[in-house]
Amino acid sequence: MEANMPESSRTFLDPTVLSRLMALPLNARHAMLGSVSGRHRSPVRGSSLEFAQYRKYVPGDDTRRLDWRTWGRSDRFYIKEFEADTNLRLCLLIDTSGSMNYGPAGATRFEYARKLAGTLGYVAAQQGDAVGLWSLAEKPVEIPAKRGASHLGLVLDQMASLQPVGDTTLLTALHDAAEKIRQRALVIIFSDLFVPPAELKSAIQHLRFRKHDIAVFHLLDQQELDFDFDRPARFIDLEGGEAVLADPSLIARNYREAVRQYMHEIDDLVRTTGMDYHRVKLHEKYDDVLARFLLARLEKKGKSS
Amino acid sequence: MTFLVPALLFALPLAALPVVIHLIHLYRRRQVKWAAMMFLRMAQRMNKGLSRLRQILILTCRVLTVAAILFVITRPMAGGLLGLTGGVPDTVIILLDRSASMEQQNLATATSKRAAGIAKLSQALRDTVGTRSKLVLIENARLQPQLLDKPESLIDLPLTGPTDTAADVPALLQGALDYITTNQTGRTDVWVLSDLRQSDWDSASGRWPALRSAFASLKGLRFHLLTYAQPAAGNLSVSVQRIVRNETADKAELLLDLRVTRSSTSHEPLELPLRFVVNNVSTTVKMEMKDSQLVLQGHAIPIDKTTKRGSGRVELPADASPSDNVYHFVFDEPAVLQSVIISDDESEARPLQAALEAAADPTRKYTSTLLPPSRAAEIPWDDTALIIWHAPLPKADDLISRQLMNHLTAGRTILFLPVESASAEAFGGLHWGSWTTGSKPATLEWWRNDAGLLANTRNGTALPVGELEVTRRCDILGEGTPLARLTGSLPLLMRADIPGDGNAWFLGTLPGSGSSSLARDGVVMFAMLHRALNEGARSLGKAQQREASATALGTGDLTLWKRQGPAILSTEQPLRAGILENADKLVALNRPLREDSPETLGPAAIAELFAGLDHHIIEDQVENETSLASEIWRTFIFIMALSLLIEALLCMPARRDPQLSPSR
């Protein structure tokens, strides 16, 4: 699989990081409906070794699943059911609006998102899960989740070719993805979420309605939070909007107040939608962020969900 | 406000430099590629009003700072309450009231109101107009415009020195008006330096409306009133009403009627040392003053029997107003109180003659001559105090008319009585009308009892004027000052308004029994005639009491007059109080007594007098040592410092919020 990757276009994949993260599985927090067996729980009963429940026999059931010992004790027919293991569909939703291009060349927010998404895609593919790619920008990319090394190659190549330009279409793209991803999937969003939280909430709820497991990597730069400028400047909108002349000494306080308010609304949104939210600052090491993400998803001992 | 370096005002547009720099910076700001525009716009929306206001304030402060610096280097000048308004006039006319009351002093520095005002005005004019304007001085004594070469001359000129004269402010303004209209002075500033004494300003005078309308028609005229209305606290003034040399068999003495007045209304007893100096021999008498006035009647000062003639003065202790602390007097053997009656009608003239010859003062001689009108030329002009003219009024261009006018100018008096034949001739603005005979005798409804011929006696008792009955009266026509009116506001006695010291009265009836009860009752007629006679006799004799004025010593050669005491310029001789001698004449010059009256005009009265004129009042005090116009660069330095401080405060960055720590 690795031999198929063109080295030059996949610089966002770091073999060292990949090898380190391979030890950690990518788990879904909800039951998945996969097409093949895998390591994730399925909502249907299967033939794994893990006991699920007893239920009464109804005509038509496979008699091979009758629990004869229970029949012997109670003279009643019970079917013994076991958990089914299946694979998951991992949908990587990358925001490719102009604002993702923020940051120094080679270390932009988009580069950071691509590293996160590429690594996660690779980890998922390695454990036999299907991987798909959706870009949330003017130029849509929709690669449905599929298994296989060649499909992963396609996803990574497509990821490498994405460019962050234009206005944000995050909300439209989320609604669109909620409609188009038919089966349950782990949907991971990589974005700066520079949209009104109230509108974002309805898009996330749309995805939740489709029973998707949603994780969000909210990518922010420390400078965007602090607004730590000393001189007046002309602020050029990366998404092509009107430039703003501003004196930081005059508006910094209000800016910070606006950020605080926004963060407060995002926290509310996370509480109400139950999404797996990760606020990431661009100076953090992405492998640490991913390790934290994967570790948080490990099933806790004794937890039965 | 004026500027010593006005050319630098052209640099004032530089004050807009901060705005220009701001605009340049606006378009040359560094560019920052920014993603979180959502927060930026939100912050701007939250901050819009306050931010704009702050920015405007900062720019305003910067502009003010630059403007203040520019103003500082233009060296701005301002007067009291920023009174000196901008622009240098073509002509500056200074109207100087140097009356006796202007000598009121600041006791600490001995600076008079006049000296303080002149010093401040001189400095202000030097600093503001310099020699760029034509400077003209008109002072109250001579009313002659005098050109000045520089403002500093005001301090040195004898024309601005002290006098003991009275001021006639309407006449000063008339002098300014005449000068302006004659010389076409262009933009003119008129400075009036005065202590606003009511007696000098004569605000009730009919001349004011005429002056106002004349000044209102002139363009570019501004009045600046530099006033010193501050009264002298506890001031005492002395005056001598009468001086008589009395000689008996064993002694001789001078009898003085004198009055000491204090300005405050205090009734606290005051021990007053009065110093009398007679022929350089001084005596001091301590008097107790209980009321606001101390009146001494017939205060005797013993003199040598051989001293028939001499001079002296009464002095009060020094106070804030030195000009009214001394009163000079002269004495001599009294002149004969001579009167002449010009009449054809002996029946009317005889009672008059009898009254005039009756000695009201037994120490003096009284003579009265009756002459028919045809022999009017025989009047002894030099020795006659009073002329009673019961004849047709002379024609204006007649010699006798001019002689009568000279008689008045010399300070003598005339009483005109009506004749049966009416004529249109007038004298002093008055002439006779027709006779009216009433069915029953008319009485007087009003007369002036505070001054004039019908005034109350010295002890305040009224003359029995109300008991007079007038059966025949002749109308008095023309403009004059009424002194008595009959029922129905018909004038019975009027004074003609004639310039000079003399007085001419018109009596609208005759003393005979066919016309009035004047001769029958006698008292009023006697008082009236003797008052007129005494008034005219003031200028008789070789020793005379006169009021200081430009004409006090006549029109002759002033160098002939020798002053007792320190010599002064001959031109100033008639203006200063003192004793002057010329040959056998002895004259005591004193301030006019109306200068003692402390009433001043209030701001409302001044505003009324100058209504409709561009005027500005600077109320100063003699103790105030700040100059009238001063450089006010300190004010602008202060404005600059204040602007910089405010700008710094506004530019101060807001306190840093605690760092957001949003990682989860």
Residue-range domain boundaries for chain B: 2-30+38-79+633-651, 87-231+599-627, 236-333+541-596, 337-537
Same domain, A207 and A264: yes
Same domain, A58 and A134: no
Segment 131-160 of chain A within 8 Å of chain B by CB: none
DSSP state of B412: -
Q: Which of chain B's residues have a Cβ under 8 Å away from the Cβ of A254?
A: 42-44, 46-47
Q: What is the pLDDT of residue A115?
A: 92
Comparing A178-182, B95-99, B603-607, the range with the smallest average pLDDT is: A178-182
A:B CB pairs within 8 Å: 126
Same domain, A53 and A165: no
- Confidence band for B449, pLDDT divided at 50, 70 and 90: confident
- Tell whether B28 lies on the interface with A, counting CB pairs under 8 A: no
How far does the CA of residue B657 sit from the closest CA of chain A (Å)? 7
Start-to-end C-alpha separation, chain B? 68
Average pLDDT, chain A: 82
Give pLDDT tens digits for B147-176: 999 888 888 888 899 999 999 999 999 999
Q: Which of chain B's residues have a Cβ under 8 Å away from the Cβ of A281?
A: 663
- Tell whether B32 lies on the interface with A, counting CB pairs under 8 A: yes
Q: Which of chain B's residues have a Cβ under 8 Å away from the Cβ of A238?
A: 33-35, 37
Q: What is the pLDDT of residue A32?
A: 61
Judge whether B87-231+599-627 and B337-537 match in fold: yes
- Confidence band for B416, pLDDT divided at 50, 70 and 90: very high
Q: What is the pLDDT of residue B543?
A: 82
- CA-wise closest residue to B244 among B296, B195, B290, B299: B299
Q: What is the pLDDT of residue B653?
A: 66
B21, B660, B661: best mutation site toward chain A, by most A Cβ within 10 Å? B660
Rounded Cα distance, A188 and A165, in Å: 21
Residue of B nearest to A255 (CA): B43
| DSSP sequence for B366-406 | EEEEEE-GGGGGG--TTTEEEEEEESPPPPTTSHHHHHHHH
Over residues A149-159, the mean pLDDT reads: 90
Average pLDDT, chain B: 86
Does residue A301 lie in a domain region?
Answer: no
* Domain that residue A45 falls in: 40-86
Residue of A nearest to B654 (CA): A249
Same domain, A80 and A16: no
Q: Kindly tell me if the per-residue pLDDT of A46 is higher than 50.
A: yes
Q: What is the pLDDT of residue A163?
A: 87
Q: Which of chain A's residues have a Cβ under 8 Å away from the Cβ of B654?
A: 249, 252-253
Over residues B365-382, the mean pLDDT reads: 91
Q: What is the pLDDT of residue A137?
A: 67
Give pLDDT tens digits for B121-132: 888 888 777 778
DSSP state of B456: P
- Tell whether A229 lies on the interface with B, counting CB pairs under 8 A: yes
Over residues A188-193, the mean pLDDT reads: 92
Residues B551, B554, B559, B565: is their CA dihedral positive or negative?
negative
Over residues B528-552, the mean pLDDT reads: 86
* Subunit contact B35:A109, Cβ cutoff 8 A: yes
Q: What is the pLDDT of residue B631?
A: 67
Rounded Cα distance, B500 and B505, in Å: 14
- Tell whether B39 lies on the interface with A, counting CB pairs under 8 A: yes
Q: What is the pLDDT of residue A302?
A: 46
Same domain, A112 and A205: yes
- Confidence band for B586, pLDDT divided at 50, 70 and 90: confident
Give pLDDT tens digits for B85-107: 456 788 999 999 999 999 988 87
Comparing A2-6, A50-54, A192-196, B625-629, the range with the smallest average pLDDT is: A2-6
Q: What is the pLDDT of residue B82?
A: 39
What tokens were used for A272?
A: 């109400």
Same domain, A80 and A162: no
Q: Kindly tell me if the per-residue pLDDT of B80 is higher than 50.
A: no
How far does the CA of residue A152 sit from the closest CA of chain B (Å)? 30
- Confidence band for A83, pLDDT divided at 50, 70 and 90: low
Around Cβ B167, how many Cβ atoms within 10 Å? 28
What tokens were used for A53?
A: 């429940």
What tokens were used for A283?
A: 């100076």
DSSP state of B489: T
CATH topology of domain B87-231+599-627: Rossmann fold (3.40.50)
Does residue A204 lie in a domain region?
Answer: yes
DSSP state of B411: T
CATH of the domain at A209: 3.40.50.410
Q: Which of chain A's residues have a Cβ under 8 Å away from the Cβ of B24?
A: none
Same domain, A19 and A81: no
Selected residue with higher pLDDT from B659 and A116: A116
Over residues B445-470, the mean pLDDT reads: 87
- Confidence band for B578, pLDDT divided at 50, 70 and 90: very high
How far does the CA of residue B20 sit from the closest CA of chain A (Å)? 16
* Subunit contact B43:A251, Cβ cutoff 8 A: yes
> Which of A84-98, B14-28, B182-196, B640-654 tops mean pLDDT?
B182-196
Give pLDDT tens digits for B286-303: 988 888 888 888 899 988
Of B32, B33, B43, the CB nearest to A255: B43
Does residue A102 lie in a domain region?
Answer: yes
Q: What is the pLDDT of residue B12?
A: 87
Q: Kindly tell me if the per-residue pLDDT of B618 is higher than 70.
A: yes
* Subunit contact A250:B55, Cβ cutoff 8 A: yes
* Structure ipTM: 0.80
- CA-wise closest residue to B391 among B425, B435, B355, B438: B425
- Top-level class of domain B236-333+541-596: mainly beta
What tokens were used for B418?
A: 């009506």
Over residues B32-54, the mean pLDDT reads: 83
Q: Which of chain A's residues have a Cβ under 8 Å away from the Cβ of B36?
A: 99, 102, 192, 194, 224, 259
Residue A251 host element (H or E): helix A248-273
- Tell whether A247 lies on the interface with B, counting CB pairs under 8 A: yes
pTM over 0.90: no
Same domain, A16 and A50: no
Does residue A305 lie in a domain region?
Answer: no
Same domain, A45 and A137: no
Rounded Cα distance, B242 and B535, in Å: 12
What distance lies between CA B532 and its chain's CA centroid?
Answer: 27
Residue of B nearest to A263 (CA): B662
B25, B38, B53, B56: best mutation site toward chain A, by most A Cβ within 10 Å? B38
Contacts of A116 (CB under 8 A, 6+ apart): A190, A217, A280, A286, A289, A290
- Tell whether A240 lies on the interface with B, counting CB pairs under 8 A: no
Same domain, A229 and A113: yes
* Subunit contact A232:B29, Cβ cutoff 8 A: yes
Q: What is the pLDDT of residue A11?
A: 80
Same domain, A148 and A59: no
Calculate what percentage of chain A has a pLDDT beyond 90: 22
Over residues B420-439, the mean pLDDT reads: 86
- Confidence band for B544, pLDDT divided at 50, 70 and 90: confident
State the CATH architecture for B337-537.
3-Layer(aba) Sandwich (3.40)
* Residue B83 backbone zone (phi > 0: left; psi -120 to 50: alpha; other: beta): alpha
Q: Kindly tell me if the per-residue pLDDT of A256 is higher than 60.
A: yes
Q: Which of chain B's residues have a Cβ under 8 Å away from the Cβ of A102?
A: 33-36
Over residues B421-450, the mean pLDDT reads: 87
Over residues B555-569, the mean pLDDT reads: 84
- Confidence band for A246, pLDDT divided at 50, 70 and 90: confident
How far does the CA of residue A167 sit from the closest CA of chain B (Å)? 11
What distance lies between CA B228 and its chain's CA centroid?
Answer: 12
Rounded Cα distance, B544 and A158, in Å: 131
Does residue A216 lie in a domain region?
Answer: yes
* Subunit contact A277:B664, Cβ cutoff 8 A: yes
Residues B227, B231, B235, B240: is their CA dihedral positive or negative?
positive
Same domain, A19 and A59: no
Total number of domains constituting chain A: 2
- Confidence band for B658, pLDDT divided at 50, 70 and 90: low
